[in-house]
Amino acid sequence: MPAGEDVNFGDVQANFVAGNWVTSKKLIDNINPATGESFAKVSMASLNDLERSISQAQKIHESRMLYEMKPHERAAMIYRIGDALHELKPVGAKILCLESGKRLCDAEDEFDEAVRYFRYYAGMADKLEGRSIPLGAGYIDYTLNMPYGVTAHIIPWNFPLSIAARSLAPALAAANCAIVKLPELAPMAALLLGRACEMAEVPKGVVSILCGDGPEIGGALVRHPDVSQVVFTGSVAVGQQIMGVLAERVVPCVTELGGKSGGIVARDANLKRVLDSVYWGIFFHSGQVCSAMSRLIVPREMQDEIIHMIEEEIDSFSVGDGIENNDITPVISEGHLNGILGSIETGKSEGARLVRGGHRLNRPGFFVAPTVFADIHTEMTIGKKEIFGPVLALQPYDNDAEALAIANGTDYGLAAGVFTQDIDKAGWFSDRLNAGQVYVNEWYAGGVETPFGGMKMSGNGRDKGQEAIFNYVQTKNVAIRIG
């Protein structure tokens, strides 16, 4: 069984096709966002690779191998994947840092989180129980949790390893096979999931890990007649396209489609906690987080004070390569950087007050200055469009009802937050905020145990926690007349 230190770039350039490593002539450069230069090449999966992966997965499903495996043995297999990822972390985290631009410490945390997903859902594999339903004398009635079969997992580039693990682990726990389609940006660390499956002695074909073109490989994946369930994290536009395709075959899809999440600062808020959440909520990973705190809703009379505190915090940030654990790291690509700058220009043209930043930093790589707008209103594009970058928009309010209306005033509903020392106020806002998760006094509070998902256009279904495993089973009822 190979150790993590044996892994090098060559080990992860290929695709993991039905349990075998397969290269192709079509290669893409893996760009380091901190320098703008390629540091490795990755094979692009072909339609033939995809067909082989799905065909083998379907054969395994039809054989009932995973379903009939003793649940504690399936749990042990999934736990071994987590152990293998832990072993691969030292090299894998460096690869993830190089290809995504994020801080090395955050890449290490992403490996730790992925490990936790496998260990958490391994613990659920032998606890997926049906139930007995009383129908009266002469009847036996019970339910079974049946796997879908071949599940498709379409993964974004911002947290590729963690997001792949959070759906792959419960899918396996529920006895499904999986085809994981990785992004063209930052795919290499997540390809190590294939190595982890090898080390864990997962039967060949149960899991395939493919890096391929989105419209070609992703499109063929969701259209394939043997794919019975899909998980997608990404943009609203692509999510709508996928759901439209799947509706033709009535195939279920769990989606997480981003947000424009707002944190409400109450007048009694602990401003130190607000500042901590400003970094983590919008400047961590340069704001490339679906549930980022991209809006801060503040009492009108406190806006200037809070702006001053945020500016002082920004002054303390170090900027540079993630390998050195700088506070501000690059965004993923030149194209994404230009999109962020375009959104900033739109904000300025619509009358938002630019307080800080708003420009590209004069250095190699794809760096955007931490940016703060003030005096925005919800009808401004910057107040309702997801930017996916280090851009914070402050919007003032006069009373709690107005703050609530501002927070709920977008098409999204992924996350929301409130900063207050009043537990009654925290409960009042939490009950009324239209979001799949509400953070009180700490943005991103929670863990792998807590359900995560959106309302409104932020998606449907729930990842994480015990709820997630039920995305991957279908309830079958069996009613028996006896005597």
- In the chain, % helix, strand, coil (3-state, to 5) comes to 45, 25, 35
Q: Is residue 453 part of a domain?
A: no
- Computed over every residue of the chain, the mean pLDDT equals 96
User: Which tokens hold the place of 221?
Assistant: 């994946």
Supply the range of the domain harboring residue 240: 4-257+459-479
Q: What is the pLDDT of residue 9?
A: 54
d(CA 337, CA 415): 24
d(CA 286, CA 360): 12
DSSP 3-state of 60: helix
| Same domain assignment for residues 328 and 238 | no
d(CA 25, CA 145): 42
* H/E element, 193: helix 188-199
Q: Is residue 79 part of a domain?
A: yes
Q: Is residue 355 part of a domain?
A: yes
| Same domain assignment for residues 52 and 123 | yes
* CATH number for 414: 3.40.309.10
d(CA 20, CA 204): 8
How is residue 6 annotated by DSSP?
G
Beta bridge partners of 250: none
Beta bridge partners of 473: 147
User: Which tokens hold the place of 74?
Assistant: 């399936």
What's the pLDDT band for 12 if we cut at 50, 70, 90? low
pLDDT at 6 over 80: no
| Same domain assignment for residues 206 and 273 | no
Averaged pLDDT, 178-184: 98
The answer to whether 105 is a known catalytic residue is: no
The answer to whether 290 is a known catalytic residue is: yes
pLDDT at 5 over 50: no
Q: What is the pLDDT of residue 11?
A: 46
* H/E element, 400: helix 400-407
Pair 461, 471: CB distance under 8 Å:
yes
Averaged pLDDT, 436-448: 97
Q: What is the pLDDT of residue 48?
A: 97
| Same domain assignment for residues 302 and 376 | yes
pLDDT digits (tens, 9 = 90+) for 86-113: 999 999 999 999 999 999 999 999 999 9
Q: Is residue 301 part of a domain?
A: yes
Cα 300 → chain centroid = 34
| Same domain assignment for residues 323 and 424 | yes
pLDDT at 224 over 90: yes
Beta bridge partners of 177: 150
Q: What is the pLDDT of residue 378?
A: 83
What's the pLDDT band for 13 if we cut at 50, 70, 90? confident
Q: What is the pLDDT of residue 247?
A: 97
| Same domain assignment for residues 286 and 358 | yes
What's the pLDDT band for 128 if we cut at 50, 70, 90? very high
Q: Is residue 244 part of a domain?
A: yes
- 99, 125, 286 from 32: Cα distances, Å: 5, 38, 15
Q: Which of 478, 473, 463, 447 is nearest to 125 (CA)?
A: 473
24/442: higher pLDDT: 442
When computed from its CA atoms, the radius of gyration of the chain, rounded to whole angstroms, is: 23
Q: Is residue 346 part of a domain?
A: yes
pLDDT digits (tens, 9 = 90+) for 296-338: 999 999 999 999 999 999 999 999 999 999 999 999 999 999 9
Pair 78, 118: CB distance under 8 Å:
yes
Q: Which residues contact 412 (CB under 8 A, 6 or more apart)?
A: 258, 259, 260, 261, 386, 454, 456, 457, 458
> Which residue type, as a one-letter code, is found at position 346?
T
| Same domain assignment for residues 181 and 322 | no
* Percent over 90 (pLDDT), the chain: 96
* H/E element, 295: strand 293-299
Averaged pLDDT, 363-375: 98
| Same domain assignment for residues 286 and 400 | yes
Averaged pLDDT, 145-168: 98
| Same domain assignment for residues 298 and 246 | no
* Residues listed for the chain: 483
Averaged pLDDT, 127-148: 97
Q: Is residue 176 part of a domain?
A: yes
d(CA 287, CA 293): 8
Q: What is the pLDDT of residue 8?
A: 53
d(CA 326, CA 105): 10
What's the pLDDT band for 483 if we cut at 50, 70, 90? confident
| Same domain assignment for residues 203 and 124 | yes
DSSP 3-state of 21: strand
Q: What is the pLDDT of residue 10?
A: 53
Q: Find the catalytic residue in 108, 110, 256, 386.
A: 256
pLDDT at 221 over 50: yes
* Percent over 70 (pLDDT), the chain: 98
Q: Is residue 452 part of a domain?
A: no
pLDDT digits (tens, 9 = 90+) for 246-269: 999 999 999 999 899 999 999 999
Averaged pLDDT, 268-279: 98
| Same domain assignment for residues 339 and 271 | yes
Q: Find the catalytic residue in 184, 290, 324, 442.
A: 290
- 160, 216, 372 from 4: Cα distances, Å: 19, 32, 41
* CATH number for 232: 3.40.605.10
Total domains in the chain come to 2
Q: What is the pLDDT of residue 72?
A: 98
Whole-model pTM: value is 0.96
| Same domain assignment for residues 192 and 106 | yes
Q: What is the pLDDT of residue 7?
A: 47
Residue with tokens 């929301």: 416
Q: Which of 422, 458, 464 is nearest to 441 (CA)?
A: 422
